Amino acid sequence: MSERFDRVVEIMARLRGDGGCPWDRKQTRETLKPYLVEEAYEVLDTIEKQDEAKLQEELGDVLLQILFHAQIGRERKTFTIEDVLETLAEKLIRRHPHVFGETTKDPPVVKTAEEVVHRWEEIKRQEKAGQSDNGEAGSALEGVPKSLPALLRAYQLQVRAARVGFDWPHDETGYTQVVGKVHEELREVADARADVMGTGTEQARRRLEDEVGDLLFALVNLARLVKVNPEEALRGTASRFAERFAYMEEAARRSGRALSEMTLAEMDRLWDEAKASEQ
């Protein structure tokens, strides 16, 4: 495996070197950003499709992005791929004292995945405290990237806040409170929409946007409380919508009509057929 890894590292160096590929030589950290995001989502797509052969290829594309950035680091003399691997190895060992007990005097005993997560977060807080100027840990929300998709970022922010106790009760009372919050936010959306319809001011439109955001945030809280990842849930719903809509388009074509030529009632009938065909 080492020889194969070294080979792709050498290939990347050649692509970026003198006489290499003009496109590869032109890339910067900034120009590569969208490719990393795109490749990560293509991995998710192949996982959902359970396409192991395609997954192998897509994981290679993600690795290519890592090699790209490591090669740029080597050229800038800031870090190398070897440094990336060493940093990762040290982090894995440091954050798993229950496995690599030889690195600690008194390795903790953990029995569940939840305990592992708790230990992981505690070690991360200790690391941040050691890296700060005053020796104090930073915000519990640190490390949640602003560049995450908004739904996923909202979820991760809520998860981080919950770990320090800022959370709804995880019982029937908490569920009732969160559902009540969703209804409250929905009413505020209705009020804000009425304001827009009545005044049409930019301030009213901004308030409506804020209220819709609050509603979505409350729904993320509801999903988290019932142990559903909202990003995955919405991704699944979007995929089902696309598949059902494609069914409708195909059904319309078979009837010799375009979907846009049908009435809403006819389209609703095709939608119900699409749903029934999934079962």
Report pLDDT digits (tens) over 162-213. 988 899 999 999 999 999 999 999 999 999 999 999 999 999 999 999 999 9
With contact defined as beta carbons under 8 Å apart, do 151 and 137 qualify?
no
Q: pLDDT confidence of 1, banded at 50, 70, 90?
A: low
| Residue 244 vs residues 50, 239, 256: alpha-carbon distances, Å | 20, 9, 19
Region 111-131: what's the mean pLDDT? 70
pLDDT at 147: 84
The one-character DSSP state at 278 is T
Return the C-alpha torsion angle 144, 149, 154, 159, nearest 10.
-50
Closest to 82 measured CA to CA, from 67, 93, 95:
67
Triad 25, 28, 30: Cα angle to 5°: 155
pTM for the whole structure: 0.69
pLDDT at 29: 96
Instruction: Output the average pLDDT for the chain.
Output: 90
Closest to 252 measured CA to CA, from 277, 237, 273:
273
Q: Is the pLDDT of residue 131 over 70?
A: no
pLDDT tens-digit profile of 64-112? 999 999 999 999 999 999 999 999 999 899 888 888 875 556 666 777 7
